[in-house]
Amino acid sequence: MSFSPSSIELFLAVIERGSFSAAARALGKVPSAVSMGIANLEAELGYALFDRSHREPQPTALANALVPHARLIAEQLKQLQVHALQLSLGLESKLSIGVVADIGPSRLLAAIKVIAQRHPLLDIEVLTAPQDDVLHLLHSGRVSVCLAFAGLAVNVLERFQFIGSEQLVATIGAAHPAFAGAHGPLYLEDLVNVRQILVASRDLPLADARPLVAESYWRTDSLAMALDMVESGIGWGNFPLSVVAPLLAAGRLKRLDFHNTENGLLLPLHVVWLKNQPLGKGAAAFVQLLTPPLL
C-alpha cells in the first residue's frame, strides 16, 4: 500500500508549505524525516512526486494530479475522527425523525440542515406519515423524536416542546361541482354533506377529529395524493396553509370563504419524544433548534 493517513498528511504538508523544512516545522518533525518519508512514498509509487533540481522541491505533474484526491481523503479522515469522538460523547449513530405529513417542511429542513453541518457523518432518517402513524412510530421505538400536532390530551409517556403553529385551511378544487355555481361566502355547515378528503392512517383509528367536518370522508395516507384528489374535484380538504399557498396562488385550489366563521384552524405544533428514552446528542440538538427563543 502506497498512501496511508500519515503519508497523505506528509504529502499535503509539502505541497501546501512549499518545502521540506516548512513542512517539517508544521508537522513537528525534522526536515530529514520529511525528505525520507517523501522518498519512501515515491519508491512505493514508482515515480517522483517532487522535482528536487530547484532550490525548493517542485511538485510534478503526477503529484498535482493526486492533490485534489489527497485533500478530499484528508478532509474525510478529519470528519471521521471528529465523528468517532462525537459518538464517544453521546452522539447517536443514526437519528430517526418522524414528521406528520400535514406539517409544512420548512422548520424540519432548517433544523436538520444545521445538524448536518455540525455532524456531517451522522446518518439522518426522516419518515413522514399521518399523525397517528407517526406517534405509533415513536412509541414503537422506530423513531426517536417526532414533529406532530398537539393532541387533545397530554400523554404521560411523552415529553414535548411547543415549537409553533400550523394553520389548516378549508380548500376545494376550482371546478368542484358542489360549488361551481356558488357566489359569495358559504356557511361552514354547508360542508357537512360534501365529501371531505382526509390525510389519515391506513390502519389506526382517527385519534383527533378536530380537522374533520363532513359526515362522509375518504382517507389517504399521502398528503400529495390528498391534494391531487381535492384538485381533481373529488372532495374538499383541510390542509396546511404553508403547503397549499402556491396552489392557491396558481388557481389550482380555492380557499373557501364562510359567513359564520374564519377559514383557518390553528393547531399547535410539538416536537415529541418519550420520557423513558433519553435523547441522544443529535435528537437533543434537533429539539433545541426547533424551540423558539424566549421573549
Q: What is the CATH number for 18? A: 1.10.10.10
- Give the per-residue pLDDT at 1: 46
pLDDT of 188 higher than 60: yes
Q: Number of structural domains, the chain? A: 2
Q: Does 146 lie in the same domain as 80?
A: no
Residue of 179 and 59 predicted with greater confidence: 59
- List the end-to-end C-alpha distance of the chain, in Å, as a whole number: 59
Position 175 pLDDT exceeds 80: no
Angle at alpha carbon of residue 123, lines to 66 and 120, rounded to 5°: 45
Say if residue 52's pLDDT is above 60.
yes
Residue 259 has pLDDT above 90, yes or no: no
Residue 85, sorted as left (phi over 0), alpha (psi -120 to 50) or beta, turns out to be alpha
Q: What whole-number percentage of the chain has pLDDT above 90?
A: 41
Query: Tell me, what's the pLDDT at 277?
Result: 85
Question: Of 72, 88, 104, which residue constitutes the final position of a domain?
Answer: 88
- CATH number of the domain bearing residue 282: 3.40.190.290
The mean predicted confidence, pLDDT, of the chain is 87
> Mean per-residue pLDDT for 114-119?
90
The pTM of this model reads 0.69
d(CA 96, CA 185): 44
- Sign of the alpha-carbon torsion through 235, 236, 238, 241: positive
Whether 137 and 279 share a structural domain = yes
Could you give the C-alpha distances from 17 to 12, 25, 30, 57, 212, in angstroms and in order? 8, 10, 14, 11, 68
Which pLDDT score, from 0 to 100, does residue 237 have? 93
Same domain for 207 and 270, yes or no, is yes
pLDDT at 294: 61
Reply yes or no on whether the pLDDT at 201 is more than 60: yes
Residues 204 and 168 in one domain: yes
In the chain, % helix, strand, coil (3-state, to 5) comes to 40, 25, 35
Rounded mean pLDDT, 74-92: 71
Helices (H), the chain: 5-17, 20-27, 31-45, 61-88, 106-118, 131-139, 223-231, 241-249, 281-290
83 — phi, psi (to 5°)? -65, -40
**Residues 51 and 169 reside in one and the same domain:** no
12 shares its domain with 72: yes
Measure the CA–CA gap between 202 and 225, rounded to whole angstroms.
13
Grade residue 189 by pLDDT with cuts at 50, 70 and 90.
confident
- Mean pLDDT value of segment 197-226: 89
Per the CB < 8 A criterion, the answer to whether 138 and 146 are in contact is yes
Q: What is the pLDDT of residue 236?
A: 92
Contact 149, 98 (CB under 8 A): no
Q: Which domain holds residue 62?
A: 5-88
Average pLDDT, stretch 109-118?
93
DSSP state of 186: B
118 and 228 belong to one structural domain: yes
Pairing of strands 94-100, 145-149: parallel
Same domain, 175 and 233: yes
